[in-house]
Amino acid sequence: MTAATPARPYRGRFAPSPTGPLHFGSLVAAVGSYLDALAHAGEWLVRMEDVDTPRNVPGADADIVRTLEAFGFEWEGEVLYQSKRGEAYAAALDQLTAAGLAYGCACSRKEIADSATRPAIDGGLAYPGTCRHGLPAGRSARAWRLRVDDQSLAFEDRLQGTVSQCLESDVGDFVLRRADGLWAYQLAVTVDDEFQQISDVVRGADLLASTPRQIHLQRCLGYRTPRYAHLPVAANAAGEKLSKQTLARALDGSRAAAELVSALRFLGQQVPQTLVAARVADVWDWARAHWDFAAIPRRRAIILPV
């Protein structure tokens, strides 16, 4: 009989990418993860996911922090910047390579497009495994990939129920370090969730399809798997997730209480109308006292009325 691993104390996080100002979709993720942490008397951390440097917008990180402050969020410690964590990601990649789990890949995008036969679960093509057994003669590694297997990987999401994926057919061996030398999101987020001792990941359901990759990485690196809750994401009438790419409106700090009320309602909370014109602190007082995780719609997306 193996002894059960004691649960970690609750630690949640909000992990925005500084590619522009926070919008309503990001507020929903921040509110959901923050209130779940408060409901568990846990800690809540903020991490700036700025590894994809070409997508960073100068000043967006400071703007995000100011917006979180204006909206009354309180987090534990300093904001962790992924751009300062290169050594930790390199150590994780070394560990995986030494264990024979990660390998160098010489394939160009075009070569993958010419040889791949299956679409990947979140767009693009599943990597066909060309360099899995070694680099072709005369070629050198451009990117680093993690080996996956063809078994089903399932986890229980607190909101979305059982989610399962076969990494080999749905994704293929995936990138840890990109051909341009940048660290891939999947590696950075996995290493940092462990580093920050995150017990509970509460984030948008647009990341549901990434979670099996992160769990596989955790297992390869000997990490624990946090609990996951994927919140419905706000979508526009065309069914697209509200994002900086779909030009979602930036949050308006001068209407913070009303914006918070909208985010709480989006998450199924029955907020009294009087709070729309209240102070931010009053909205948080109400939310702390009335937060009902069970009322969150168990859906992956909700279309916002225009």
Q: Is 16 in the site for ligand GLU (CB under 6 A)?
A: yes
In the structure encoding, which two tokens stand for residue 35, read together?
A: 């209130």
Part of the chain binding ligand GLU (CB under 6 A), chosen from 15-23, 138-146, 220-228, 288-296: 15-23
> Which residue stretch of 10-18, 122-130, 143-151, 286-294 sits at the interface with ligand GLU (rule: CB under 6 A)?
10-18
User: Token digits for 246?
Assistant: 């779909």
| Shortest Å, Cβ 111 to ligand GLU | 29
DSSP lists the bridge partners of residue 204 as 231
If you ran DSSP here, which 8-state letter would residue 237 be given?
T
Contact call for residue 21 and ligand GLU (CB under 6 A): no
CA angle at 205 for the pair 290 and 298, rounded to the nearest 5°: 50
Q: Closer CB to ligand GLU, residue 46 or residue 271?
A: 46
Tokens of 205: 């359901």
Task: Decide whether 163 or 189 has the Cβ nearer to ligand GLU.
Answer: 189
Count, residues near ligand GLU per rule CB under 6 A? 7
Residue 228: which of 205, 197, 261 has the closest Cα?
205
- Smallest distance, Å, CB 281 to ligand GLU? 26
List, as one string, the DSSP characters of 147-173. ---SSEEEEEETTTEEEEEEHHHHTBS
Question: Least CB distance from residue 118 to ligand GLU, whole Å?
Answer: 25
Phi, psi of 209 (to 5 degrees): -70, -15
Closer to ligand GLU at the Cβ: 93 or 189? 189
* Residue 63 buriedness (CB in 10 A; 0-12 / 13-18 / 19+): middle
Other C-beta atoms closer than 10 Å to the C-beta of 86 total 14
Q: Interface residues for ligand GLU in 107-166 (CB under 6 A)?
A: none
Which span sits near ligand GLU by CB under 6 A: 9-17, 93-101, 147-155, 250-258?
A: 9-17
Query: Cβ 207 to ligand GLU, closest distance in Å?
Result: 5
Exposed/middle/buried for 215, CB within 10 Å: 0-12, 13-18, 19+?
Answer: buried
Token output for 90: 């390199």
Q: Give yes or no for residue 231 binding ligand GLU (CB under 6 A).
A: no
Adjacent-strand bridge partners of 89: none
Per CB under 6 A, contacts with ligand GLU among 47-66 are: 49
Encoded one letter per residue, x for contact with ligand GLU by CB under 6 A and - for no contact, window 170-209 reads: -------------------x-------------x---x--
Minimum Å distance from CB 236 to ligand GLU?
Answer: 17
CB 280 within 8 A of CB 210: no
Binding of ligand GLU by 244 (CB under 6 A)? no
Q: How far is the CB of 203 from ligand GLU (least distance, A)?
A: 4
Sites of contact with ligand GLU (CB under 6 A):
15-17, 49, 189, 203, 207
